[in-house]
Structure 1
Amino acid sequence: MYNTIIRTTLLAITFLFAAAYTTVDNKTADATSWEIDKAHSAINFTINHFFTPVDGTFRDYSATVNFDPANLEESRIDVTIPVSGIDTRNERRDNHLMSEDFFNAAQWPNIRFVSSEIVEDGEGGFIAKGEMTIRDITRDFELPFELLGVMDHPMQENTRVAGIRASAELMRNDYGVGTGDWAATAVVGNQVNIQLNLELTTAI
């Protein structure tokens, strides 16, 4: 009888330990995977021409977004932007930007950002730290962003919707975007301001 009680107690302890371990493991295994609703999202940029800011956007992009504020350890962002999707509302300028003078899209067709970690910024926002690759140059890059909100989608059953806004800047010459005379910054500025407005959905 005593041995039976001992065995039963040990089995109960083992079960509880296994259940607790499974709960912790599942919590850290996966951050929420989100899909981008492109109809309500945009990747925009601004750069000066002489003194005046000129706006542009990228019509095409793909992204893997795994993000959970409670599970930053497993959160990741991977964005690929085809240079061919650049749109500054001027076809001649867009073609020039894709040429060897700037992006050289024929040889390096994509811009890519891959995060290595996502951390809190201490002010309620987040920073995706990783690497940005443009042309043949890869550099460390930080993308600050804020989570605008999360809610059940009122128009799609079993779906949650979230909003993310990110803003950053980079220097085009750091990535060789502008060769020869176009490396000069008197006409085309060096600083590029980037803004991402992303509406995300996930099944629940």
Structure 2
Amino acid sequence: MSRSSTLKRLALTIGLVTVAATPTAATTWSVDQGASSVTFVAQQNGSPLKGTFQDWSAEITLDPNALDEAEINATVRPGSAKTGKPQVDQTLPGAAWFATSSHPEATFTSSEIVSTGEISYEARGTLTIKGKSEPFVLPFTLTVDGDTARAKASVSLARLIFGVGTDVSPPTVADPVTVDLEITATR
């Protein structure tokens, strides 16, 4: 075998090894708002009070094979909360609840995402509501079918830690509140 041929093979081998060793780039997903939802359930006087946040957004960069590059940044506009009960819907933006005039957005920013099972993950980061930031863990499941991803999460959120609903005691409106996420996204 000629020296030229050997060098070409060596260069090709090094190139293939370099490509194989290059980390997988995390995938950026576009959320399908029409197929996704952010909802909540609070116990009010012992009965479930269901609602939805109608205005929210999320920037998701995630590949299960490249979690070190994964990132989730989500924003919910609490003033968009709707329960179907006019009196409640008028109360929620007020100072004792979401104080939307001074805090129009609630945010979650991940600092890391870890696998906890075959399709189970935790997004660990910071949740900010009414200007108060707290460490927060969001457990979720993720399934990817081709170019479509579906994530689901259900989490108990201690509203009083964030100063939400300070004008009512937990027997009237329970603390915590359950927040459910169903997100469909495409790449």
Common topology (TM > 0.5):
yes
1: CA distance between counterparts of 2:164 and 2:12? 59
SS in 1 for 2:58: strand
2: CA distance between counterparts of 1:9 and 1:91? 78
**Aligned-residue identity in percent:** 31
Residue in structure 1 matched with residue 42 of structure 2 by the alignment:
47
1: CA distance between counterparts of 2:86 and 2:7? 74
Per-residue Cα deviation, 1:36-64 (whole angstroms, up to 9, x for no partner): 11111100111110111111110011110
Q: Is the 8 A contact 2:143 2:150 kept in 1?
A: yes
SS in 1 for 2:91: helix
SS in 2 for 1:92: helix
SS in 2 for 1:189: coil
Q: State how 1:6-155 maps to structure 2 within 5 Å.
A: 9=6, 13=10, 16-27=13-24, 30-122=25-117, 124-151=119-146
> Which is greater in Rg?
1
SS in 2 for 1:43: strand
1: CA distance between counterparts of 2:118 and 2:46? 33
SS in 2 for 1:188: coil
2: CA distance between counterparts of 1:142 and 1:26? 26
1: CA distance between counterparts of 2:92 and 2:36? 23
Residue in structure 2 matched with residue 187 of structure 1 by the alignment:
172
Q: Is the 8 A contact 2:23 2:66 kept in 1?
A: no
Per-residue Cα deviation, 1:14-53 (whole angstroms, up to 9, x for no partner): 55435433443352xx211111111111001111101111
2: CA distance between counterparts of 1:105 and 1:20? 54
Computed over aligned residues only, the root mean square deviation of the Cα atoms, in angstroms, reads 2.1
Q: Is the 8 A contact 1:148 1:165 kept in 2?
A: no
2: CA distance between counterparts of 1:176 and 1:24? 48
1: CA distance between counterparts of 2:164 and 2:33? 27
Per-residue Cα deviation, 1:70-93 (whole angstroms, up to 9, x for no partner): 111111111101112111112331
Per-residue Cα deviation, 1:96-148 (whole angstroms, up to 9, x for no partner): 11110111000011111111111111364111111110011111111111123
SS in 2 for 1:98: coil
1: CA distance between counterparts of 2:49 and 2:165? 16
Q: Report which of the two has the higher share of helix.
A: 1
Structure 2: state its 5+ residue gaps: none
1: CA distance between counterparts of 2:71 and 2:40? 23
Classify 1:123/1:15 alpha carbon distance in 2 versus 1 (closer, same or farther; 3 Å).
closer
Structure 1: state its 5+ residue gaps: 152-159
TM-score under structure 1 length normalisation: 0.83
Aligned residues: 187
1: CA distance between counterparts of 2:133 and 2:22? 34
